[in-house]
Amino acid sequence: MSKVYCSRCLYDSGIPNIIFDSNGVCSLCKLSEKMEEEYPNDERGERILKDLAHKMKNAGRGKEYDCIVGVSGGCDSSFLLYKMVDLGLRPLAVHFDNTWNSRIATENIHRVTKKLDVDLFTIVVNNKEFDDIIRSFFYASVPDINITTDIALAATLYKAAEKFKVKYQIEGHSFRTEGVSPLGWTYMDARYIKSVLAEYGTYKIKTLPNLWMKDFLRWMLFLRIKKIRPLYYIDYQKEEVKKFLHDEFGWEWYGGHHLENKLSVFSHTYFFPRKVGIDQRANGFSALVRSNQMERDEAIRLLSSPPEYDQDTVDYFIKRMNITPEEFERVINLPMKTYRDFKTYKKYFELMRPFFWIMYKQGLVPKSFYVKYTAKNGLLNMHQRRNNGK
């Protein structure tokens, strides 16, 4: 049976739980439409952002910092750090170093923080411990080889907020330029990491900041640390921002979304398209098409060819995993598994759906977490309930 493609973006019927309306528009585009309404980026968004800045200043009185900003050396987080300073806030830049950073990313972080005179707080994981985690996910034959970095960054942000008594956590995600990754493509939680390590790992977690449920709930319920995504309220034109960052800070472009980290380069350019059969560029390209920052025909043309990869990147991964090229090929060709083959928090997230709806409404978890992680069948479940008027 041939694939059905969305008439608006680049997603197709091969994505788990995706559905299409009578006009051929997919459910992820429908989600994006809802988010456009909820998070305006016109003059209304400007007023919302100024109001949020005022609240952050009030919460930061008597403290060293008003907010925490996660930084990676990438375009979004670098601009966001600048924007917080421009709004008159005193941000603390926070970075999780998984020991796979590119030279460009590291230099970008230091250039931007130095010129803005912003302090930098970093947690560095033990490289042997982290490599063992990556090796475990690689041997588990699941798509989620790099989710540990995202989990650890989230935990690092919470730890920094608690340490410095900051109530606002700033994240650099923009659904208009990055999209929302389908749940069937990747999944992440702390229990999942523990389960994979129990079967394939050789190291105990000692230095990795992991987002355990008990800590997650404590940071939400008792410390009331809010998550804010200011790019949702900004007319964020990526190409213009890249030029601004280069002119203002000497910031360098690293070649593509999420490619500021060597592990991300490997996973996006080689592992996903060749092992998993997924081209992650479809996320960003679809978002840019929806927000009129890219022509759909151009996006389709770019996606018609697989992502280019550098053999040096593959060789570097093989070396760090301490395996032979033959073993690498053997694992690459293993049948795929998913998070459903391991223990996760997913069933608890589903049972706690009403609770997380309240947390999302109070700004304590992002809407994307509520939509993707708490519904039993992801977007399909949500879409059906809406169509049934429930």
301-326 confidence digits (pLDDT tens): 998 888 889 999 999 999 999 999 99
Decide if pLDDT at 183 tops 90.
Answer: no
Decide if pLDDT at 224 tops 80.
Answer: yes
Query: Which pLDDT value is given to residue 375?
Result: 84
Q: Which residues are registered as beta bridge partners of 261?
A: 101
Query: Which pLDDT value is given to residue 387?
Result: 36
Decide if pLDDT at 78 tops 50.
Answer: yes
Q: Which amino acid is at 2?
A: S
Could you tell me the sign of the dihedral formed by the alpha carbons of 293, 273, 320, 70, in that order?
positive
Provide the pLDDT confidence category of residue 258 given band limits of 50, 70 and 90: low
Topology given in CATH for the domain delimited by 39-278+310-344: Rossmann fold (3.40.50)
Q: How many helices (H) and strands (E) does the chain have?
A: 18, 5
pTM for the whole thing?
A: 0.90
pLDDT, average across residues 71-86: 94
179 to each of 89, 257, 283, 286, how far by Cα in Å? 27, 12, 5, 7
pLDDT, average across residues 349-371: 93
The whole-angstrom separation of Cα 19 and Cα 12 is 9
Q: What share of the chain is helix, strand, coil (3-state, %, to 5)?
A: 55, 5, 40
Decide if pLDDT at 192 tops 60.
Answer: yes
- For 7-15, the CB contacts below 8 A with 24+ separation are 8/289, 8/290, 8/296, 9/286, 9/287, 9/289, 9/290, 9/296, 10/282, 10/285, 10/286, 10/289, 10/296, 10/299, 10/300, 10/303, 11/182, 11/282, 11/286, 15/182, 15/184, 15/185
Provide the pLDDT confidence category of residue 15 given band limits of 50, 70 and 90: confident
What is the distance of C-alpha 254 from the center of its chain?
17
The whole-angstrom separation of Cα 105 and Cα 7 is 36
The whole-angstrom separation of Cα 209 and Cα 155 is 6
Query: Which pLDDT value is given to residue 175?
Result: 87
More confident residue, 50 or 379: 50
Provide the pLDDT confidence category of residue 271 given band limits of 50, 70 and 90: very high
| Cα within 13 Å of Cα(383), Cβ side | 19
Tokens 């809407």 belong to residue = 367
Task: Give residue-wise pLDDT tens across range 274-295.
Answer: 999 888 888 889 999 998 889 9
Provide the pLDDT confidence category of residue 148 given band limits of 50, 70 and 90: very high
Query: Which pLDDT value is given to residue 257?
Result: 58
Quickly list DSSP for 297-354. Answer: HHHHHHHTSPPP--HHHHHHHHHHHT--HHHHHHHHTSPP--GGGS--SHHHHHHTHH
pLDDT, average across residues 35-58: 95
Longest Cα–Cα distance of the chain, Å, equals 63
Task: Give residue-wise pLDDT tens across range 100-115.
Answer: 998 899 999 999 999 9
Q: Which residues are registered as beta bridge partners of 97?
A: 124
Map out the domains of the chain as residue ranges: 39-278+310-344
Q: Please give the radius of gyration of the chain, using alpha carbons only, rounded to the nearest integer.
A: 20
Decide if pLDDT at 2 tops 90.
Answer: no
Residue 194, classed as helix, strand or coil, is: helix
The whole-angstrom separation of Cα 129 and Cα 205 is 7
324 to each of 1, 235, 256, 319, 368, how far by Cα in Å? 38, 48, 29, 8, 39
Provide the pLDDT confidence category of residue 380 given band limits of 50, 70 and 90: very low
Tokens 């982290």 belong to residue = 130
Task: Give residue-wise pLDDT tens across range 227-237.
Answer: 999 999 999 88
| Cα within 13 Å of Cα(32), Cβ side | 25
Query: Which pLDDT value is given to residue 371?
Result: 87
